Amino acid sequence: MDIRFESREVLKDKPQGALGFGKYYTDYMFIADYDKDQGGWHDARIVPFGPIEMDPASMVLHYAQETFEGLKAYRTKDGKIQLFRPEKNAQRFANSNARLSMPAVPEDLFIGAIEELVKVEKDWVPAKEGESLYIRPYMFASEAAVGVHPAVSYKFMIILSPVGAYYPEGMAPVKIWVEDEYVRAAPGGTGFTKCGGNYAGSLKAQEKAEEHGYTQVLWLDGVHRKYVEEVGSMNVMFLIDGEIWTAPTEGTVLPGVTRDSILQIVRSLGYPVHEEHLAVDDLMAAARDGRLQEAFGTGTAAVISPIGELCYKGEKAVINNFETGKLTQQLYDTLTGIQWGDVEDPYGWTRTVCEA
Ligand code: COI
């Protein structure tokens, strides 16, 4: 699909100093419209970043038909701008849209639009270590109607934000609250999708965790409140007795791109991997007995985040003396080395967008 370009007269000043996460936006954004009665996707355009007009009856505002993705563009030392496994995001976006009764964004439109926008905004891809350009594709129901039904019109948009570390702690270990009251997902629900509603429903527990001095929530399964699933903004892995444990992606857990990449890396390093249900009682017992060696989260935004403490029903488990574990550090170095082009990519995960 052709993408129309509308330029702006004055470009923004680039931020100086620490970027944080999701605080700054680039000069342009991508928009395409979908209308069932106009043959689907049309009017793809890159336009100046700014407010959009919406009908007050837009269905997303009432029934939350909204999905999104997250990936990053990296500036390599040898002068390239590259993406990391964008086809995985395209596939997951399609799966999310199917579950929310939303039309698919074809992979060539999804990746093509990202590449075009990143090319236009390549000067916004940061050069400092640990910084990248976060890419946020999203789609929502724009049909003006108040009856409940799958909408017939949508907008697919992409915005870009130069970012540093997701957590204020940076690469230092985070404290995680194991939530035993609220649940995130149940079998048959939308847990495996990236839809805004999953995150809206998680905020109450997130506030509760913060009130207790914890950074994020570790969710338990929605049926028994017994098995560990994922953390608010990342999948979670545990090194117990030299073996990796992480929840299976059977419908209630987000199939993370970083999760999948790390599982391939740890397998290649020879670690046995259990994509199995792990009871929180067994996890806390492993911590008590000194068998829980390391814990870390994996995510596009969070990258690899060491977990230094878990709190479950008032019991606190400090992991690896609240220090980043050896394996956690090795995985961080390997993954970010591939993403920033500093180490060889034996998996073919990176995709060059343009010369920097
Ligand atoms: C990501 O890791 O890209 C996410 O979307 C997580 C979070 C910022 C919602």
Do 74 and 48 sit in the same domain of this protein? yes
The residue among 172, 88, 84, 170 whose CA lies nearest residue 128 is: 170
232 CB near ligand 1 (under 6 Å): no
Would you say residue 168 has pLDDT above 80? no
Q: Quick check: CB of 256 below 6 Å from ligand 1?
A: no
Structural domain containing residue 309: 174-324
Which protein residue's CA is at the shortest distance from atom 7 of ligand 1? 233
**Same domain membership, residue 240 and residue 111:** no
Residues 6+ apart with CB under 8 A from 107: 87, 90, 91, 94
pLDDT at 238: 98
Give 239-290 pLDDT, tens digit per residue.
Answer: 999 999 999 999 999 999 999 999 999 999 999 999 999 999 999 999 999 9
Is residue 98 a part of any domain in this protein?
yes
CB distance 252 to 191 below 8 Å = yes
DSSP string, 130-145: T-EEEEEEEEEE--B-
- State whether the beta carbon of 161 lies less than 6 angstroms from ligand 1: no
Between the CA of 213 and the centroid of ligand 1 the distance, in Å, is 21
In a domain, 337, yes or no: no
Domain containing residue 253: CATH number: 3.20.10.10
CATH code, 133:
3.30.470.10
10 plus 137 within the same structural domain = yes
Percentage with pLDDT > 90 across the chain: 96
Task: Report the atom number in ligand 1 closest to the C-alpha of 256.
Answer: 2
Domains: count for the chain:
2
Do 202 and 149 share a structural domain? no
> Is 330 inside a domain boundary?
no
The answer on 186 and 110 residing in a single domain is: no
How far is 343 from 339, CA to CA, in rounded Å?
A: 8
Helices 326-339 and 257-268: crossing angle in degrees, nearest 10, is 120
pLDDT tens column, 108-121 = 999 999 999 999 99
Question: From the CB of 173, is ligand 1 less than 6 Å away?
Answer: no
Same domain, 10 and 155: yes
Q: Are 62 and 134 found together in one domain?
A: yes
183 burial class (0-12, 13-18, 19+ CB within 10 angstroms)?
buried
Give yes or no for a contact between 319 and 310, defined as CB atoms under 8 angstroms apart. yes
Cβ–ligand 1 distance for 198 under 6 Å, the answer: no
Interval 27-40 mean pLDDT: 97
Q: Rounded distance, CA 214 to CA 315, Å?
A: 13
Q: Would you state the structure tokens that stand for residue 180, as one six-digit string?
A: 């035993």
Does ligand 1 come within 6 angstroms of the Cβ of 301? yes
Is there a single domain that holds both residue 191 and residue 242? Answer: yes
Distance 305 CA to ligand 1 centre (A): 13
pLDDT of residue 169: 74
Whether 12 and 65 map to the same domain: the answer is yes
Helix (H) or strand (E) holding 244: strand 243-246
Place of tokens 């999701």: 22
User: Do 57 and 31 share a domain, yes or no?
Assistant: yes
Residues 158 and 239 in one domain: no
- Residue 253, amino acid: V
Question: Candidates 199, 215, 233: which one to mutate for ligand 1, based on the most atoms within 8 Å of Cβ?
Answer: 233
